[in-house]
Amino acid sequence: MLRTVRSLVVAPSEAAAWEAAERHPVLGRPALVLFALGVATLVAAFAPVLFIGPGRLPDDGLITYALGDQVVTFPRQLVEVVVLLLAVPFVFCLYVTVLTYVPTAVLAALAAVRRGEASVPGRLASDPVGVARRRGQAFARTYGLVAVGFGPQFAATLFTGGALVAALAGGADASEGLIRVTPAGHLVSVVDDAPALTAATRVVGAAATLVSGLLWTGAVGRGAGVSHRPAVAVVVPVTLLLVYVSDLAGHFGL
């Protein structure tokens, strides 16, 4: 898998690299990639509880699960957080796909009009169902390929979780700390008692998002069936916006 991902990073616009990714038993199944990111987020978010103490977990609103004579209760908020963290990568992948695929498809349609090919209104009028079906298939294909681009977020999330656990094990005070999932899909940590940790998680997160953007460029180009240039024109601004909102806004003097 690492060889395939490395090929995508080195040559994101090469069809052969994406064909290999689509055939890969893991990368070819976007749900597995996104679910793995959700599990990594869940583990990284709850690992610090071992050091903070279970008393910090919410204890109001219990949910009871019964199987035969066995009964287990969980705090309702905890169950909701677990479900949310597992679902978040799928939602993030959806909005990244929408933000990148739709403008790319529009640019491709405008380019076709300039080349004198059949106009978009003409195709819609002659075969609206066929156009809608093809667009839907292209969007679904792009969604699956964009999911592969969230792989670097997996690494950034594990780094944040590991760094936070190491800081807490070293005696850092996280009583006023914060862990949050960024719009780019990775975890960042804000611990006033460990400013270096906060800066490190954001630097690693920003780097991971830039690599994700590189992968998304190839994913959108292949999924939408367009050349590399319109994909770059759309994905680069989206990636830079995610880097700013996720890791730079309010930090490093920005």
Q: Which pair of structure tokens corresponds to residue 5?
A: 């991902």
**Crossing angle for the helix pair 195-224 and 76-114, nearest 10 degrees?**
40
Is 165 domain-assigned?
yes
| 253 is a domain residue | no
Task: Give the Cα separation of 42 and 158 in Å (integer).
Answer: 10
25, part of any domain: yes
- Which pair of tokens denotes residue 180? 């949050």
Written as six digits, the tokens of 85 are 């963290």
Give the span between the Cα atoms of 94 and 102, in whole angstroms.
12
Return per-residue pLDDT of the chain as tens, 254 residues. 566 666 676 666 666 666 766 776 656 678 888 898 888 888 887 776 665 554 444 444 444 444 445 544 445 566 677 778 888 899 999 999 999 988 888 877 777 666 665 555 555 556 566 667 777 788 888 898 899 889 889 889 989 888 887 777 777 665 556 677 888 888 887 777 777 878 888 899 999 999 999 999 988 888 888 778 888 889 999 999 999 988 887 554 44
Beta bridge partners of 190: 178
Q: Per-residue pLDDT tens for 188-204? A: 877 777 778 788 888 99
Range of the domain at 67: 2-248
Give domain status of residue 202, yes or no: yes
Dihedrals phi, psi of 151, to nearest 5 degrees: -55, -45
94 within a domain of the structure (yes/no):
yes
Residue 254 included in any domain: no
SS3 107: helix
Question: How far, in Å, CA of 127 to CA of 62, rounded?
Answer: 54
Q: How many helices (H) and strands (E) does the chain have?
A: 10, 4
The mean of the pLDDT values for the chain is 75
Distance CA 153, CA 13 (A): 20
The number of angstroms, rounded, from the C-alpha of 96 to the middle of its chain's C-alpha atoms is 8
Whether residue 228 lies inside any domain: the answer is: yes
Q: How far is Cα 205 from Cα 166, in angstroms, rounded to an integer?
A: 18
Total tally of structural domains belonging to the chain? 1
CB 172 within 8 Å of CB 194: yes
CA distances from 206 to 95, 118, 173, 187, 221 (A): 18, 42, 25, 11, 23
pTM of the predicted structure, to 2 decimals:
0.78
